[in-house]
Structure 1
Amino acid sequence: MDIDALVKRINELAHKNKETGLTEEEQTERAQLREEYLKNIRRNFRQQLDTIEVVDK
């Protein structure tokens, strides 16, 4: 799932939670989507850190 679709679905579940609440299945889905999102963020951040080159010490 691409990041835009992931964020869109997380936001849909957040809005539904505020309005009517979530079922057990939706809560599980939300937790899985959040974890996938965080893994993606960590991976991208790690890639950025790996490309940094120290010029002057």
Structure 2
Amino acid sequence: MSAVHPDDRERIFAVQQTSTDSIEPLDMLWRIADRNGNYRWFHTHSEPFIAWCQS
């Protein structure tokens, strides 16, 4: 998470946790630093993948 803009970290963590807990897709806009420390905006859509184990 060190590449994520400091102002976005708490929100991004909460959105990802909510998506995982609810098994619902997420859609977010956030800033990520490149190797030179410059931030760029990213629009991300993802869906949690839960692998169910059967014994």
The TM tier, using the shorter chain, reads 0.3 to 0.5
Higher fraction of strand: 2
Higher relative contact order (CA 8 A, sep 6+): 1
Q: TM-score scaled to structure 2, two decimals?
A: 0.42
Q: TM-score scaled to structure 1, two decimals?
A: 0.41
Q: Which of structures 1 and 2 has the bigger CA Rg?
A: 1
Higher fraction of helix: 1
